Structure 1
């Protein structure tokens, strides 16, 4: 789309403020290859997997060929792309499907990110290359059955015995855990009370070691194609060599969470763009009372407000990237982005479903998937309420929750 067309003609896509003009040739190439993968490989099959609540393992080798795992991580065979390119990967995958984006985000952002931020150089060299090639898949086990929003209070314990650690506890809502090769497990040191990180390893041929039992959670209404587990941990033994050397408190974990929380904002943008564009397309095709519904005032009003919200989310996401690049990204900034983007995107996908009417309930029209998946996005990596309290604490200097 040219600038002239955007100014003087029909607005065929979401980028009314021409923010994509800021992309470098490399960033545009990364966006386009992910977009092509989504259009040609993911969207044609994902509805069937989503409805069966199964993960599309067949797509992992094809995703690996894109060489995007690890996104911004430098070295150890990771792509080392710009932060904006990394954000665009999340946007494009979420435009296709939230479950598949979560699979990738857990592996590339949370698991690989934990190793990159908190591992020693030797540990990075040991684990990251195979994960970058997606020969080994990662999971991130922080959330517990009784500790979601207050994850800092986690109860899973770790006791040192010689060259090993013995872990006991439980985890819940852990994406990829049932099939991952490297699971980052967070546990509290029984001696000093500090939270530490451990890498559970298994080879593709082996089952999980004794003491680690993941059970896939059933009956979800959203993100149905990402397998999330409840994990029982009982006298699980992990070598000291598998403890991430630079994780010595929850503040270290927060470095990972702050870096990845922006990813939830980018995902929200992807869901919102997909729903908006589906609604525009449907409004131009659906005829009622002898006219396309896009010719009616109420529909145009909704589309205009949807575009405004999509644009607002995108501007916030691009600014978040700038702040991260400048080394100025803070936890309240990340929380505000997640809070605002998820809230706006939730409204956009809901309004898209309304424009499609009854047809918006059908998986074949995709909006229903984005609608229920946004319910998950609205909650995970910190609920709307918790994000608002983090921002509120930065405003008032008073913590309302701890």
Structure 2
């Protein structure tokens, strides 16, 4: 039972520098809509689904009504908006559950973003409206069983032009949404010119296209990851992403935006861990007092909030650069590396603050602690991001 004094304690709030207030009224209304959905619909059930390695399909009808898909993409029925709004939406989702934020980021950012950035006008008109309505859900197939960070020069999935069709062969791994979605953006190496090209594959109607759900993960367990196998999959030329996708540079254009978007997601992951840890510290009694009144606990909480605020400021600046068309691959890489490393620190401190309860999913910190490990690695490893930055600032390439 909480005392009267405890009930009047500050409500946990990880937006210490009021970043959300930099949005206009309409954008803040969108953010409020996201927070309401995540807290009222996702929060009450997400631990159960996380433990069971399952996705809460029951939430999709209500989620579709938010009309968020394609946020940051203008036209073709997409939600639109600036990149700060895109980031804050991702952060709000990850503040409650990183898996749900990842599901949305894969669909709206990677799959829809690939078509918006690299597709022809005809492809945009055909695919973006139903994806914006979430009648068609997408995934993004780049990573392979033996190819992760080296995708730029080492893709083993091949594409061979035969008349008006392309024949795809190979495998993709760790592909979020793949076991159940409708559309896959598959990146493959053209055997004739050795360039990476993108293709829109209709999962459920393409012969030779199969997906096996990956099991036994310890992080992002709600996201359904799949291993895709393609055996002589014939894709019409109309589904070959537009003339822009003639090299890996075009893939990199998509990744530039989604890589720093991971920074927003990891910042949200920190926020969720911190706010739950702070609430616990306000309520948990030891030696007759809330542990939040102890110096060592306040030190942990202040360090967590410092990490969160630094990351928020960093990703907010990358969003502004993106809106101005000035964001570079190197800036995106630094944001991804820095925020994910700080997330590891923050969620570790949150788990530490809860003691033994920190490893129980019921207390809403263990899930963030585990999910941070996946965020640290996907969209390019920490070390790979630093090599991208290192080449830029020294003038020397350390890539082998």
Shorter-normalised TM-score: what interval?
Answer: over 0.9
Q: CA deviation at 1:370?
A: 0.6
Equivalent position SS for 2:354:
helix
Normalising by structure 2, what TM-score? Answer: 0.95
Q: List aligned pairs for 1:303-318, cutoff 5 A.
A: 303-318=301-316
Q: List aligned pairs for 1:332-347, cutoff 5 A.
A: 332-347=330-345
Distance 1:215 1:21 in 2: 44
Q: CA deviation at 1:12?
A: 4.3
| Correspondent of 2:268 among 263, 267, 270 | 270
Distance 2:57 2:353 in 1: 33
Q: CA deviation at 1:354?
A: 0.6
| Aligned equivalent of 1:194 | 195
Deviation string, structure 1 residues 284-307 (Cα, Å, up to 9, x no partner): 110111111111111111111111
| Aligned equivalent of 1:297 | 295
| Aligned equivalent of 1:4 | none
| Aligned equivalent of 1:5 | none
Equivalent position SS for 2:267:
helix
| Aligned equivalent of 1:396 | 394
Aligned pairs, number: 390
Q: What do you get for the CA RMSD once the two structures are aligned?
A: 1.2
Q: List aligned pairs for 1:3-402, cutoff 5 A.
A: 12-152=12-152, 153-202=154-203, 207-245=204-242, 246-402=244-400
The 8 Å contact of residues 70 and 108 in structure 1, kept in 2 or not, is answered as yes
The 8 Å contact of residues 27 and 84 in structure 1, kept in 2 or not, is answered as no
The 8 Å contact of residues 12 and 279 in structure 2, kept in 1 or not, is answered as no
| Aligned equivalent of 1:3 | none
The 8 Å contact of residues 265 and 342 in structure 1, kept in 2 or not, is answered as yes
Q: CA deviation at 1:36?
A: 0.3
Deviation string, structure 1 residues 347-398 (Cα, Å, up to 9, x no partner): 1111001101111111111111111110000000011111111111111111
| Aligned equivalent of 2:4 | none
Distance 1:319 1:72 in 2: 16
Deviation string, structure 1 residues 265-313 (Cα, Å, up to 9, x no partner): 0001101111111111111110111111111111111111111111101
Distance 1:140 1:165 in 2: 18
| Aligned equivalent of 1:6 | none
The 8 Å contact of residues 27 and 82 in structure 1, kept in 2 or not, is answered as no
Q: CA deviation at 1:19?
A: 2.6
Normalising by structure 1, what TM-score? Answer: 0.95
Distance 2:378 2:170 in 1: 21
Q: Is there any run of 5+ residues in structure 2 with no aligned partner, and where?
A: 1-8
Cα 1:365/1:12, change in 2 over 3 Å: closer
